[in-house]
Amino acid sequence: MENIRIELTSAPKAKPNIDPLPFGKYFSDHMFLMNYEEGKGWFDPRIVPYGPFSLDPSCMVFHYAQEIFEGLKAYRRADGSIWLFRPADNFRRMNDSARRMCIPEVDVDFCVEALKKLVAIERDWVPTQEAASLYIRPFIIATDCTVGVHASKTYIFCIILSPSGNYYPEGLDPVKIAIEDEDVRAVRGGTGFTKCGGNYAASIRAGERAAGRGYSQVLWLDGVHRKYIEEVGSMNIMFKIDGTVVTPVLQGSVLPGITRRSILEVCRDWGLSVEERLISVDEVIETAENGHMEEMWGTGTAAVVSPVGQIEYEGKSLKIGGGGIGELTQKLYDELTGIQWGTRPDTRGWTVKVCD
Ligand SMILES: *Cc1c(COP(=O)(O)O)cnc(C)c1O
């Protein structure tokens, strides 16, 4: 790949002076871009001033949603240095999404280097506020100008950066989630394992209905039997049942979270018993009722670990573990955020330094 061309802005924006920062509302001064053409590959990698795209209305992404994205964060440590968490895993997963959506793959190592360069240029945009970070959004869109269903021959790859506060401004706070038994998010053979925009568009209706009843998230069931637990809106889900950590097995409809993988690795290293298997909603309700369900939490880049205090299913509402933050949930949150912010040792080589 060619060298990255750099064009700096002559009109830097004022940094948002808000505490706590909202999530994903402000964007930094620059973005990374490269283009793709069939026969030519990815070309013209560049860091340029942040700004709008000009796209023809017939552009394929507008009509058939040939689009994928990723989400990760840059963290500022107490000594001022800036770090990423497992960034290569995000670009590897982006390539998994790309293959499913007939989008050309990217070079993982090149993308990590490009991201490091972009974040280093935007270092002053990495927040210093407690628990705030720079949210990173890489994405690829199909740009052929033709209204016909086929794989586009041209694409834009872009990375934008958003200084963002803690996902939950009140800190670690148990969420209430509603188990959805009507809409489904994904099926095996579909696109559930990818981060493609269409998955999220299709999930909004159930989310709005749940919000109307006072629930902040939706817990999805499998699309065939509407029986097995899959995941939450943008988080994987885990349970502690009789001392064992249980999470849905990955079979193509669940998004393989990097936080999920990291948490499972930490649990196994701590000597906990871990099971990746099918979990029926009946098992969840039964163990929540008889007290065998000790803890329940979501995992994802945005919130890292999010305790679940209450669930709703078929009009019935149930508290989990008394409705508070479980002991293991708290311990896992402390461990993972500790590794990310460098207050706990990174013995697995998960963190990548951007700059001092
Ligand atoms: C991004 C995402 C997750 C979490 O993945 P991480 O890599 O841990 O951030 C889980 N489920 C869905 C549907 C997602 O989009």
Quickly list DSSP for 252-321: SSS---HHHHHHHHHHHHTT--EEEE--BHHHHHHHHHHT-EEEEEEEETTTEEEEEEEEEETTEEEESG
Confidence of residue 1 (pLDDT cuts 50, 70, 90): low
Tell me, what amino acid is at 328? L
* Protein residue with least CA distance to atom 15, ligand 1: 234
* Protein residue with least CA distance to atom 10, ligand 1: 235
Report which ligand 1 atom has the smallest distance to the Cα of 302: 9
- For residue 256, the CA-to-ligand 1 centroid distance in Å is 7
Please tell me the pTM assigned to this model.
0.96
* Protein residue with least CA distance to atom 1, ligand 1: 234
Q: State yes or no: cis peptide before 169, omega within 30 of 0.
A: no
- For residue 104, the CA-to-ligand 1 centroid distance in Å is 22
| Distance of alpha carbon 317 from alpha carbon 325, whole angstroms | 18
- For residue 55, the CA-to-ligand 1 centroid distance in Å is 29
**How many other CB atoms are found less than 10 A from the CB of residue 181?**
14
Least confident range of 150-154, 171-175, 211-215, 329-333? 171-175
**How many other CB atoms are found less than 10 A from the CB of residue 89?**
19
- For residue 237, the CA-to-ligand 1 centroid distance in Å is 10
* Protein residue with least CA distance to atom 5, ligand 1: 257
> Do 78 and 342 meet the contact criterion of CB atoms below 8 Å apart?
yes
Q: Residue 129: its pLDDT value, please?
A: 87
* Protein residue with least CA distance to atom 13, ligand 1: 234
Q: Rounded to an integer, what is the distance from CA 178 to the centroid of its chain?
A: 20
Burial grade of 127 (CB within 10 A; 0-12, 13-18, 19 or more): buried
Strand-pairing partners, residue 145, are: 59
Would you state the structure tokens that stand for residue 155, as one six-digit string?
Answer: 């694409």
Among 70, 73, 236, 333, residue to substitute to test ligand 1 (most atoms within 8 Å of Cβ): 236
- For residue 255, the CA-to-ligand 1 centroid distance in Å is 6
Q: Is pLDDT of 170 > 80?
A: no
The pLDDT tens digits of the residues spanning 303-320 come to 999 999 999 999 999 999
